[in-house]
Amino acid sequence: MTKQELLDACDLFLFDLDGTVYLGETPIAGAAEALGRLRGAGKRIVYLTNNSSKTHAEYENKLRALGLWGAGDSVYTSADATAEYLNAHAAGKRVYLLATPPVTEAFRAAGVRLVEEDPDVCVLAYDTTLTFEKMRQFNEYLAAGKLFIATHPDDVCPTAGVPMPDVGSFLALFERSCGRRPDVICGKPFTVMGACVARAFGVPAARTCMAGDRMHTDIRFGNANGMHTLLVLSGETTRRAMAEFPDVPGVVLESVADL
Residue 34: partners with Cβ closer than 8 Å, 6 or more residues away: 256, 257, 258, 259
Q: What is the predicted pLDDT for the residue at 205?
A: 97
Segments in the chain below pLDDT 70: 160
Q: What is the predicted pLDDT for the residue at 58?
A: 94
Of 232, 177, 240, the residue nearest 20 (C-alpha): 232
Q: What is the predicted pLDDT for the residue at 160?
A: 67
Residue at 237: amino acid letter = T
Residue at 133: amino acid letter = E
Are 252 and 229 in contact by the 8 Å Cβ rule? The answer is no
3-state secondary structure of 185: strand
Provide the whole-model pTM: 0.94
Q: What is the predicted pLDDT for the residue at 55?
A: 94
Q: What is the Cα–Cα distance from 201 to 97, expressed in whole angstroms?
A: 26
Backbone angles phi, psi at 248, to 5 degrees: -125, 125
- Residue 15 host element (H or E): strand 12-15
Q: Euclidean distance between the first and final Cα of the chain, in Å?
A: 14
